Amino acid sequence: MTTPTGIHIVWDWNGTLKDDVTDLTGALNAAMTVLGAPPLTTETYRAQHRLPIRDFYADLLGRPLTDTEWAAAEIAWSRHMAQRTPTLRHGAKQLLEAVRAQGHTQSLLSLASHATVHDEVAALNLGSHFVSIDGRRTSTITGKTGALAEHLFALVPTVDPERVLVIGDTLDDAHAARTCGAHPVLVTGGLQTTDQLHQAGVPVAESLEAAVQVGLAVIDPDARALHHDGAGELAPLPDHRHVDTTWWRTLWHRHAHVTIPLRRRGLVCDVEFGNNDYLIHARLPGNGVLIIGPQEDPPNLTPGRPEGWLVTLEHPDQIQDVVYDSRPGGPHQRHGPDIAPLLQAIDVRLTNLGLLSNPPRTPTATSGMPLPPGAGPLEPGRNHRR
């Protein structure tokens, strides 16, 4: 029997690797036209999308579909998509190459028709990156759980289910992964809104590269960073007795979208929880530590996705300089829970301290979007105490 050593990534196709949300909205509207319904926006598509697709259509119409209507809608949808040239998300092909070069394996699982998926993968010359490519072989779309179970079963024994990362863009992807014992990471910009994705309670990244980095660290915190577009090694894990405990690893995984970019900057990070207040500690070379987290975060919010972030720099003399504050009422509140401006503010402070001469190419490692203006630190000298 082959002993699995690397990590296996199961990629979703539509909305994840394939950049097709606009095309899917157009296909949906083609189906709505034959059903006598008005067209919908991409925002409505994302907000209401769910599986099974037939129920999704029924929600939009406000009534069940007849079998005849469903068949007509399927034909209209397929005809529209067949006229579109498949395109990938930015950097997707290079990322697939980087993952393979590091020794990990990859496969593709989609609920689009099997023939369509194979044709599109071939058209984009991606087949060599995947050990398996599976699409839907039936006319019914009920969800991904059963399909993922069959997909993984076919990969045994070369793939260890406990070292499988599933990257997708919907709640269904997360549900399927957890049901099958795999590790899910969701990526924004696909078929569902960011707020919807955070309802899953799993890591959510804002770029494909960030999704891979977070997922690899979740499965193997000691694994070296993925070398892609200049990415460096990760700083080591903290050295204390809690590292191997379940509670610490659970908390660590929930905040991987913050700690991984910081570890790529050479900072050793740690996490702790107490009194409804979870914190990330990033120790600076020499003296000083960055303390990152919400203050008394409401318990109804998902850990790792607060209303806003507070970043302070604690000096040896016990003074805390506020580096960034996007909590309600804070000077950067317009950025809320977004990670990209938080990382930019930290980069500015580290650079000013002479600790970061060459910041990583993407302080948006969990964003994939341009950094918004005004994300820098507060003026020097402003102090804050808890």
pLDDT digits (tens, 9 = 90+) for 169-227: 999 999 999 888 899 999 999 989 988 998 888 889 989 998 998 888 888 766 555 65
* pLDDT of 364: 37
Q: Look up the pTM and report it.
A: 0.64
Residue with more model confidence, 71 or 51: 71
* pLDDT of 243: 79
Average pLDDT score over the chain: 82
User: What phi, psi does 109 have (nearest 5°)?
Assistant: -135, 125
pLDDT band at 59 (very low <50, low <70, confident <90, very high): very high
Question: Rounded CA gap, 226 and 38, in Å?
Answer: 45
383, pLDDT greater than 80: no
Angstrom CA distances, 88 to 19, 20, 145, 283, 292, stand at: 5, 8, 24, 38, 34
Those residues whose C-beta lies under 8 Å from the C-beta of residue 352, and which sit 6 or more positions away, are none
**Would you say 143 and 174 are in contact if contact means Cβ atoms under 8 Å apart?**
no
State the Cα angle at 263 between 259 and 265, rounded to 5°: 125
56, pLDDT greater than 70: yes
Residue-wise pLDDT for 247-271, tens only, equals: 787 777 777 778 877 887 888 899 8
Domains of the chain in start order, with CATH, are 1-18+87-233 (3.40.50.1000), 21-82 (1.10.150), 237-386 (no CATH)
Question: Rounded CA gap, 181 and 67, in Å?
Answer: 35
Question: Rounded CA gap, 175 and 199, in Å?
Answer: 11
* pLDDT of 22: 92
pLDDT band at 132 (very low <50, low <70, confident <90, very high): very high
Pull the structure tokens for residue 35. Answer: 């059903």
**Would you say 202 and 253 are in contact if contact means Cβ atoms under 8 Å apart?**
no
pLDDT band at 359 (very low <50, low <70, confident <90, very high): low
* pLDDT of 231: 47
Average pLDDT of 110-120? 92
Give 34's Cβ-side CA count (13 Å radius): 21
pLDDT band at 57 (very low <50, low <70, confident <90, very high): very high
Average pLDDT of 339-362? 77
* pLDDT of 368: 31
* pLDDT of 139: 66
* pLDDT of 384: 34
Identify each DSSP E strand in 239-365 by its residue range: 268-274, 277-283, 289-293, 310-314, 320-325
Average pLDDT of 154-175? 89
Q: Picking from 66-70, 73-77, 368-372, which range would have the lowest pLDDT averaged per residue?
A: 368-372
User: What phi, psi does 268 have (nearest 5°)?
Assistant: -80, 125
pLDDT band at 122 (very low <50, low <70, confident <90, very high): very high
pLDDT band at 40 (very low <50, low <70, confident <90, very high): very high
Average pLDDT of 95-113? 93
Question: Rounded CA gap, 359 and 344, in Å?
Answer: 9
275, pLDDT greater than 70: no
pLDDT band at 66 (very low <50, low <70, confident <90, very high): very high
Alpha-carbon 156 to chain mean position = 26
What percent of the chain clears pLDDT 90, i.e. is strictly above it?
41
Residue 150 neighbours by CB distance under 10 Å: 13
Average pLDDT of 281-294? 86
Q: What radius of gyration do the chain's Cα atoms show?
A: 22
